[in-house]
Amino acid sequence: MTLIDKLANREDLISPGISACVGCNVELTLRTVLKILGPNTVLAVPPGCMGGVGVVGWDKKAGAKIPVFFPLLDNVASMLAGIRLGFNARGRDAHVVAFAGDGATVDAGFQALSGAAERGDRILYICYDNEGYMNTGYQRSSSTSKGSWTSTTPVSREGKGGKAQHRKDFPLIMALHDLPYVATASPAFIPDLVRKVERAMEVRDGLAYIHIYNPCPTGWSFKAEDSIAISRLSVKSRFFPLWESRGRKLTITVREQRPVPVADYVAKIGKFRHLGPEGIAELQALTDERYRYLEAMEKSGAGGDGTGA
Amino acid sequence: MSQVEVFNGNLAAAHAARLSRPEVIAAYPITPQTPVVEYLTQFHADGLLDCQMTEAESEHGAMSILSGASLTGVRCYTATSSQGLALMYEPYFRASTLRLPIVMNIVNREMISPQTVWGGPQDSLTLRDAGWIQLYVEDNQEILDTTIQAFKIAEHPEVLLPVNVCYDGFYLSHMSERVELPTLAEVDGFLPPYSSRHIILDPDHPMAVDPLTNGRLLMGYRRKHMEAQAAALRVIEQVDSEYSDRFGRSWGGLVGEYCAQDADYLMISLGSVCGALRECVDEFRSRGLRVGLLKIRSLRPFPRERVIRALDGKKGFGVIDRNVSFGTNTGILYQEIRAALYSASKRYPAAAFIGGLGGEDLTLEIVERAIDATMASVDAGEVAEAATWLIRPEKRGNS
């Protein structure tokens, strides 16, 4: 079955009419991911955009056609670990999946996620990273890029301010838990995303983690129709490179031999409007440095699969 | 046939958990609960406990893991103490409002600050309004019996609420006593396997658990939760009587009474200090003074009617609290008893005491002093508006 066939023929497991913003590429990501996962799935959607737009449900209406629930913001991985144990106890199997924003993942839920990763709980954890708490009007998270305007890192009338720190390199932090599978993905690279979800579904010996970068038209202030184009630019500029790893064997899956300047990516996004050449140069330097590090990891990946074997 | 053993409180709790066949256990060690986790992991390693056992990264994680597991319809157990309970407050409250019949022993330990690791039920009493059933016990046999009963109470179709069985850190957790240990087959006969019908995450029967819910619907859930607590008043007594029929031990259900029937003065407390109170009751009785003991076993649901009945015909009462209720000048139990008695036909004279915080010893001498003071203030017809502090005289050279 080709990718097109899969996406065209498989049932959309999210109810129609959820109230995501116009141009939301997280909704697209979720619907795509669930077509691949199929109905034998239990889905955790913590507080955040997808919870807010009704993927769990409103009152007596369910937002998904599969078992779905709200974990707490900070216990997504723990609750899923428990679900896996419950299934194990009764000899059942199903995909046990998180679809969580960056706040629930890189901030409040990090301890639970790191704990589950270390224990080797068999869950598939997907983070949709839109660089902050978008559902409540864009407050900063530790995944917010340096310089970003957010409602809690405002910009003064003189054009000074924005977030003072660089974002965590979170997918790499997860990879260094020596997980059986970690990947980054983008809604602008659906074949790459689908292949990664399929690989993550095959994992039997621990936690699989996929970090998806989802630029947000509403929070970041860009045109809804540019949603995919800007997602694509984030990869083409190497600002958010696409890779996968098994243990410490890391492979870059989408190579941009002639990356576009980060300035071209930043220029289209309202939250960076106040950034001068220095601020943009800093983002370019970070991008280059992190990419060099990834390449070095890829080269040294002969090192092993993280099992110590 | 049950066997007679010598167990500390933590070992009694661990055996009770083992005998109840939990399917998932997740725990995180904390003084003085730590040995419970060690005993259970050893039982598991030795093949004496067939369950999914996992080591959580925190108490928040432990209760969250069990919440997930319970949502798949399996029996779950854990234990914690003080700061650990405080850390798990978020999933703790939610386990009750999701109506997950998890059983958790709380090895009562004082809350910091100042820094302390010693006993006192401030930790669980503070959380009395979080929707769990909270049972308090006095000795190690009662820990074992009540923990087994807790699963049956929690999983009763009219209850479906999580249950805490709370026992004092160190005084019980680390003190050894004679304990009768039933066999697995005997407990199997008492406690059937759990199967969830009210809430389940199962791909064969998709359910949306906890969609965003409007206030009107939410109030319906709260009301049913209250009704379940009310039903538990009856179920706790039923389960105690059923347990007594099978194992020959009754703990009185919602409350325990000692020399209470014909007493003039009723001393009221919960937990291990009731042991000292029994000794003192005997002492006062030997002097012809009609003192009795009312031990509150169930704090939630609160046994209002049994308290009113127990006080019927008494001159008055005194409450010993090993905790504080900031802003009320008394302890939590005193507040609860006074609230319950608002609908009694008589206004009872009452004395209030606070003592034994942070593991501080409540010696027989101190408890006798409290009884003397109760008798005096009851005879004077006083109702205490502030607690008397039970503090040992300072030793010379000690700060």
Cβ within 8 Å, pair A83-B69: yes
Look at residues B187, B222, B247 and tell me which one is the last residue of a structural domain. B247
- Chain B contact present for A62, CB below 8 A: yes
Tell me, what's the pLDDT at A305? Answer: 54
- The answer to whether B65 and B78 have CB atoms below 8 angstroms apart is no
Same domain membership, residue B242 and residue B275? no
B332 plus B194 within the same structural domain: no
pLDDT of residue A309: 45
Residue A306 pLDDT exceeds 60: no
> What CATH number is attached to the domain comprising B312?
3.40.50.920
A57 touches chain B (CB under 8 A): yes
Mutation target vs A (from B51, B55, B209; most A CBs, 10 A cutoff): B209
The residues spanned by each domain of chain A are 3-303
- For B194, the domain range is 3-247
Query: What residues of B are in contact with residue A75 (Cβ under 8 Å)?
Result: 60-61, 64, 67, 90-91
Tens digits of residue pLDDT in A14-45: 999 899 999 999 999 999 999 999 999 999 99
- In a domain? residue B395: no
**Residue B20, amino acid:** S
State the CB neighbour count (10 A cutoff) for residue B285. 14
* A56 contacts chain B (CB < 8 A): yes
Residues B215, B63, B25, CA angle at the centre, nearest 5°?
Answer: 140
Of B247, B268, B294, which residue sits at a domain end?
A: B247
Q: B147 and B232 share a domain?
A: yes
Chain A residue with minimum CA distance to B206 = A67
Residues B297, B227 within the same domain: no
- Shared-domain flag, residues B23 and B84: yes
Phi, psi of B31 (to 5 degrees): -65, 135
Q: Is residue B114 part of a domain?
A: yes
* Residue B271: predicted pLDDT: 98
How far apart CA A132 and CA A220 sit, in angstroms, is 10
Q: Which member of A82, A90, A92 has the closest CB to residue B26? A: A82
Tell me, yes or no, whether B146 lies in a domain.
yes
Same domain, B76 and B103: yes
Return the amino acid letter for B183: T
CATH number of the domain where residue B158 is located: 3.40.50.970
Write the residue in A68, A79, A114 that is nearest to B67 by C-beta: A79
pLDDT at residue A304 is higher than 70: no
Contact A72 B90 (CB under 8 A): yes
Asked if the structure places residue B336 within a domain, the reply is yes
B261 and B240 in one domain? no
Q: What is the mean pLDDT of chain B?
A: 97
Domain count, chain B: 2
Based on the fold, state whether residues B237 and B265 are members of the same structural domain. Answer: no
Cβ neighbors of B125 (< 8 A, separation 6 or more) are B299, B323, B332, B333
Instruction: Sort out which chain B residues have CB atoms less than 8 A from A79's CB and list them.
Output: 64-65, 67-68, 71
Q: Give the CATH architecture of domain A3-303.
A: 3-Layer(aba) Sandwich (3.40)
Task: Using CA coordinates, name the residue in chain B closest to A40.
Answer: B203
pLDDT at position A50 over 70: yes
pLDDT in tens, B79-109: 999 999 999 999 999 999 999 999 999 999 9
- Report H helices in chain B: 9-19, 34-45, 59-70, 82-87, 89-97, 122-125, 140-155, 184-190, 215-247, 273-286, 304-311, 332-340, 364-379
- Within chain B, how many helices (H) and strands (E) appear? 13, 16
What global pTM score does this model have?
A: 0.97
B133 and B222 share a domain?
yes
The pLDDT of residue B231 is above 70? yes
- The string of pLDDT tens digits covering residues A148-186 is 999 999 999 999 999 999 999 999 999 999 999 999 999
Chain B from 60 to 99: CB within 8 A of any A CB: 60-61, 64-74, 90-91, 94
Tell me the two tokens of residue A216.
């947000």
CA-to-CA distance for B72 and A126, rounded, in angstroms? Answer: 21
Q: Within this chain, do residues B77 and B124 fall inside the same structural domain, yes or no? A: yes
Q: What pLDDT does B393 receive?
A: 81
DSSP string, B342-377: GGSSS---EEEEEE-GGG----HHHHHHHHHHHHHH
For residue range A241-281, list pLDDT tens digits in order.
999 999 999 999 999 999 999 999 999 999 999 999 999 99
- Mind telling me how many Å the CA of A65 is from chain B's nearest CA? 7
Q: Does A142 touch chain B (CB under 8 A)?
A: no
Residue B245 clears pLDDT 70, i.e. is over it: yes
Q: Which of B54, B91, B213 is facing A81, going by the closest CB pair?
A: B54
What is d(CA A18, CA A99) in angstroms, rounded to the nearest whole number? 15
Residue B314 forms part of a structural domain: yes
Q: What is the pLDDT of residues A99-115, one digit of tens each?
A: 999 999 999 999 999 99
Q: Looking at the complex, does the CB of residue B216 fall below 8 Å from at least one CB of chain A?
A: no
User: Which residues of chain A does B206 touch, with a Cβ-Cβ cutoff of 8 Å?
Assistant: 39, 62, 64-68
Closest residue, chain B, to A53 (C-alpha): B212
Which of B247, B271, B289 lies at the terminal end of a domain, its last residue?
B247
B204 and B240 part of one domain: yes
* Cα–Cα distance, A187 to A28 (Å, whole number): 7
Share of chain A above pLDDT 90, in %: 96
- Gap from A10 CA to chain B (nearest CA, Å): 17
Do B310 and B328 reside in the same domain of the chain? Answer: yes
pLDDT above 70: percentage of residues in chain A: 97
